[in-house]
Amino acid sequence: MFEPVLTKYVNEPNGYTLDFYVQHGGYQAMKTALGLTPDAIIDSVKKSGLRGRGGAGFPTGLKWSFVPKDNPKPKYLCINADESEPGTFKDHVLLERNPHLLFEGCVIACRAIGAKTCYIYIRGEFYHLQKQLEAELVKARAAGYVGTNILGSGEDCDIWVHRGAGAYEAGEETALIESLEGKRAQPRLKPPFPAVVGLYGCPTVVNNVETICNVPVIIEKGAEWFASIGPEKNTGPKLFCVSGHVKKPGVYEAPMDTTLRQLIYDYAGGIRGDRQLKAVIPGGSSTPVLLPDKLDTHLSFDGMVAAGSMLGSAAVIVMDETTSMVWVAKNLIHFYKHESCGKCTPCREGVDWLYKILDKIERGDGEPRDVDLLLSVCENIGGKTLCPFGDAEIAPVLSTIQHFRAEYETYIRTGQSPVQSDFRAAEPVGAH
Amino acid sequence: MSFHPQMPYGEGWHKSDRFIPEEGPAFAFTPEHRAQLEELCTHYPPERRKSAIISALYMVQAQQGHITGNAMRHVAEVIGCSTADVEDVVTYYVMFFTKPVGTYVLQVCRTLSCALNGAEKVTAELCRHLHVKPNETTADGMFTVMEFECLGACDRAPVIMVNNEHWHECQQPGDVPALVEGLRTKGLAALSGCHLVKERT
């Protein structure tokens, strides 16, 4: 099995402390980077092939190179720690067990883009992580790794943790910036892109926690080493989150030529109760559901697109044969209905109708035309919104209908689910 | 005209109900909270104090449990923005309570991974045991049960967050009475905390 890089010490009792980190070679990459020009750092990250780990898979070095050098305004780095995509908990592990790797990455990235200030935007629900991050930041600052004149190099980089208050949409980069400015987390019209007009109207780069944690590794071990891991254009170590009906749910680090089958059966121990696998969501709730026939596909950005889905945030949700796909769609649409920021009409109103129709089917009042009606509503949402939320919310509906249309039709005809689930309540309360 | 041509113009689709906050008693930050807020404002450029609104609102909740009209006006004054700006934020984020809540707010994750592991049963069991519906508070003011969307710890499902800050993992439906009893007698110490955090102690 792959030797972990980012999560090597996550099970060490003191692995999160500054002392442990420094004793195990921490902050060495930063020392190297302080001697490199910003262009050399960007070049190295470009050569490594690192792609953003937040969901879109955009090349990180390229994103950094969009920051204009001649702009006199201050520049900012924002770390997206608003990990909210259902099924995702990889950043949780890094924030909790390897905070100094993140800080080190922040300092290097700030040097690359010419920023002096970095905000770590952490979701409100991660208060327990925020307290620890702040405590470790104090230590890093006292030791001279963060703050003004870092290790006597003349380089300044201040890192602050900013707590959100419960909004999935804050994970979209322009919505994150809005939220950081003290407003509703709603996306902005692009262009201009944040690299030119971002936080406080200044050039800004927004990167995911895992993306930034890869940066010190690239500087330390070299771009060639990084590029040699995994398939072409899908390089470097990757964290996969496995949850749902598996024996050993958790975060597993592996290269992106790992297949879905290896991840589910070798890493996560297989399906709980040795039941049959029914469907897999490979990259968080916003990515289309896959059937077991795609189990031998590489879990890479390009491999998942070829299989008809997306790698997204690499959040693999496993569902066994007792799962009703109509209920899955309804559960996720409830999530999107709750989280839609309300800015774009197709998303806000459309998701409400999707929920109403799915709820009607689930109550046993569905009509034969409802499946096509769902598809028609989806068609009016996809590609018609400012941010990818619209495309995300239709993925569970479209893909469950694509693969399980017969199940929808049986449900509508008989008025009850053709599948019985022992994990559901006999009489659910609230909006289940 | 409805949103979709095949969809009848039905009841209850109109969502523009305006939020009108309760005025509440007079409100001012304690000197400690005020000092803490001023320190937080130094993290942002001097003309960008608005960035600290969310933190200020958390302090309101720490002080009086929920957010009221008077508290929003005070926050606006301290931050230097309009009350509408504050109201805008309060009504958007789910972790701000605009009505009184119990001593322990039990926020049960309901999204897919937790639901696949029995979260529905946990919520149903909590509601049955405490004789409340979701979003209601028990008569003694001890517990509020809420359903929350994905909390981001799907490997330790079902997860419950308590009072926006505390973590409780792998809650089995059958152990709900024990959790409630534990909170009554031992307080927050009854919670499991974050498992990885637990490992290192």
Tens of pLDDT, residue by residue over B79-121, are 999 999 999 999 999 999 999 999 999 999 999 999 999 999 9
Are residues A264 and A209 part of one domain? no
Q: Do A183 and B15 touch (CB under 8 A)?
A: no
Q: Do A16 and B200 touch (CB under 8 A)?
A: yes
The stretch B140-151 carries a mean pLDDT of 96
Q: Do B150 and A428 touch (CB under 8 A)?
A: no
Q: Count structural domains, chain A.
A: 3
A427 located within any domain: no
* Residue B54 half-sphere exposure toward CB, CA atoms < 13 A: 24
Angle subtended at Cα B150 by Cα B162 and Cα A347, rounded to the nearest 5 degrees: 130
Alpha carbons A257 and A112: distance in angstroms, whole number = 29
Are residues A329 and A306 part of one domain? no
Q: Do B197 and A128 touch (CB under 8 A)?
A: yes
Chain B contact present for A180, CB below 8 A: yes
Q: Do A430 and B199 touch (CB under 8 A)?
A: no
A163 located within any domain: yes
**Chain A contacts of B129, Cβ < 8 Å?**
none
pLDDT grade for A427, boundaries at 50, 70 and 90:
confident
A233 located within any domain: no
Asked whether the predicted pLDDT for residue A39 surpasses 90, the reply is yes
Chain B contact present for A201, CB below 8 A: no
Are residues B138 and B72 part of one domain? no
Angle subtended at Cα A258 by Cα A257 and Cα A264, rounded to the nearest 5 degrees: 160
C-beta of residue A273 within 8 angstroms of C-beta of residue A347: no
**Chain B contacts of A338, Cβ < 8 Å?**
94, 149
Hey, is A335 helix, strand or coil? helix
**Chain B contacts of A268, Cβ < 8 Å?**
none
Are residues B118 and B84 part of one domain? no
Alpha carbons A20 and A10: distance in angstroms, whole number = 11
Strand partners, B168: B160
Are residues B82 and B112 part of one domain? no
Hey, is B99 helix, strand or coil? coil
B99 located within any domain: no
How long a stretch of residues is chain A?
432
A330 located within any domain: yes
Are residues A183 and A157 part of one domain? yes
Chain B contact present for A73, CB below 8 A: no
pLDDT in tens, A14-33: 999 999 999 999 999 999 99
B113 located within any domain: yes
Chain B contact present for A316, CB below 8 A: no
Q: Count structural domains, chain B.
A: 2
Are residues B110 and B169 part of one domain? yes
A9 located within any domain: no
Asked whether the predicted pLDDT for residue B151 surpasses 60, the reply is yes
Are residues A146 and A41 part of one domain? yes
**Chain A contacts of B7, Cβ < 8 Å?**
353, 373
Are residues A142 and A119 part of one domain? yes
Helix axes B53-64, B69-79, angle to 10 degrees: 140
Are residues A278 and A194 part of one domain? no
Report the CATH number that the domain containing residue A41 is assigned in CATH.
3.40.50.11540
ipTM score of the complex? 0.94
The stretch A8-13 carries a mean pLDDT of 90
A171 located within any domain: yes
Are residues A132 and A52 part of one domain? yes
Please name which of A63, A106, A59 lies closest in space to residue A81, comparing C-alpha atoms: A106
**Chain A contacts of B147, Cβ < 8 Å?**
430-431
Of B90, B125, B158, which residue constitutes the final position of a domain?
A: B90
pLDDT in tens, A251-309: 999 999 999 999 999 999 999 999 999 999 999 999 999 999 999 999 999 999 999 99
Alpha carbons A287 and A401: distance in angstroms, whole number = 14
Asked whether the predicted pLDDT for residue A205 surpasses 50, the reply is yes
The stretch A79-94 carries a mean pLDDT of 96
pLDDT grade for B6, boundaries at 50, 70 and 90:
low
Alpha carbons A356 and A343: distance in angstroms, whole number = 20
Residues contacting A355, CB < 8 A, separation 6+: A330, A333, A334, A337
Asked whether the predicted pLDDT for residue A392 surpasses 90, the reply is yes
**Chain A contacts of B116, Cβ < 8 Å?**
243-245, 317, 319, 323, 423
Asked whether the predicted pLDDT for residue A430 surpasses 90, the reply is no
DSSP code of A25?
T
- Tell me the Ramachandran region of residue A337: left when phi exceeds 0, alpha when psi lies from -120 to 50, beta otherwise: alpha
C-beta of residue A233 within 8 angstroms of C-beta of residue A49: yes
Are residues B176 and B152 part of one domain? yes
Angle subtended at Cα A128 by Cα B126 and Cα A210, rounded to the nearest 5 degrees: 115
Q: What is the pLDDT of residue B1?
A: 43
Report the CATH number that the domain containing residue B50 is assigned in CATH.
1.10.10.1590
Chain B contact present for A213, CB below 8 A: no
Q: What is the pLDDT of residue A277?
A: 97
Alpha carbons A55 and A190: distance in angstroms, whole number = 18
pLDDT: which is higher, B16 or A211: A211
Are residues B130 and B62 part of one domain? no
pLDDT in tens, A161-185: 999 999 999 999 999 999 999 999 9
Of B90, B114, B140, which residue constitutes the final position of a domain?
A: B90
What are the backbone angles phi and psi of residue B129, rounded to the nearest 5°? -65, -35
Of A227, A261, A292, which residue constitutes the final position of a domain?
A: A227
Are residues B193 and B119 part of one domain? yes
Of A205, A227, A249, which residue constitutes the final position of a domain?
A: A227
Report the CATH number that the domain containing residue B157 is assigned in CATH.
3.40.30.10
Work out the end-to-end distance of chain A between its first and last CA atoms, rounded to an integer number of angstroms: 39
Chain B contact present for A332, CB below 8 A: yes
B151 located within any domain: yes
A6 located within any domain: no
Q: How many CB atoms lie within 10 A of CB B39?
A: 10
Q: Across the interface, which of A96, A166, A245 has its CB nearest the CB of B196?
A: A96
Tally of helices (H runs) and strands (E runs) in chain A: 16, 8
Are residues A150 and A67 part of one domain? yes
Q: What is the pLDDT of residue B5?
A: 58
How long a stretch of residues is chain B?
201
Of A303, A320, A337, which residue constitutes the final position of a domain?
A: A320
Are residues B178 and B117 part of one domain? yes
Compute the radius of gyration of chain B from its Cα atoms.
20
B11 located within any domain: no
B7 located within any domain: no
- Which structural domain range is residue A363 located in? 325-414
**Chain A contacts of B79, Cβ < 8 Å?**
182
- Which structural domain range is residue B81 located in? 31-90
Are residues B116 and B83 part of one domain? no
Q: What is the pLDDT of residue B8?
A: 56
Are residues B86 and B109 part of one domain? no
Give the distance from residue B173's alpha carbon to the nearest chain A alpha carbon, in angstroms.
10
pLDDT in tens, A87-136: 999 999 999 999 999 999 999 999 999 999 999 999 999 999 999 999 99
The stretch B146-162 carries a mean pLDDT of 95
Alpha carbons A95 and B118: distance in angstroms, whole number = 27
Are residues A162 and A33 part of one domain? yes
pLDDT in tens, B60-74: 999 999 999 999 999
Q: Across the interface, which of B88, B120, B151 has its CB nearest the CB of A425?
A: B120
Closest chain B residue to A86, measured at CA: B150
Residues contacting B18, CB < 8 A, separation 6+: none
Alpha carbons A91 and B125: distance in angstroms, whole number = 31
Are residues A369 and A245 part of one domain? no
Asked whether the predicted pLDDT for residue B200 surpasses 70, the reply is no
Q: What is the pLDDT of residue B197?
A: 64
Are residues A169 and A73 part of one domain? yes
Chain B contact present for A69, CB below 8 A: no
Closest chain A residue to B165, measured at CA: A127
Alpha carbons A358 and A364: distance in angstroms, whole number = 10
A4 located within any domain: no
Chain B contact present for A85, CB below 8 A: yes
Are residues B40 and B117 part of one domain? no
- Residue A69, class by beta-carbon neighbours within 10 Å (0-12 exposed, 13-18 middle, 19+ buried)? exposed
B124 located within any domain: yes
Are residues B194 and B119 part of one domain? yes
The stretch A381-408 carries a mean pLDDT of 97
Read off the amino acid at residue B75: V
Q: Do A182 and B53 touch (CB under 8 A)?
A: yes
Alpha carbons A373 and A352: distance in angstroms, whole number = 13
Q: Do B150 and A85 touch (CB under 8 A)?
A: yes
Are residues A398 and A371 part of one domain? yes
Closest chain A residue to B57, measured at CA: A165
B131 located within any domain: yes
**Chain B contacts of A84, Cβ < 8 Å?**
149-150, 152
Strand partners, A79: A120, A207
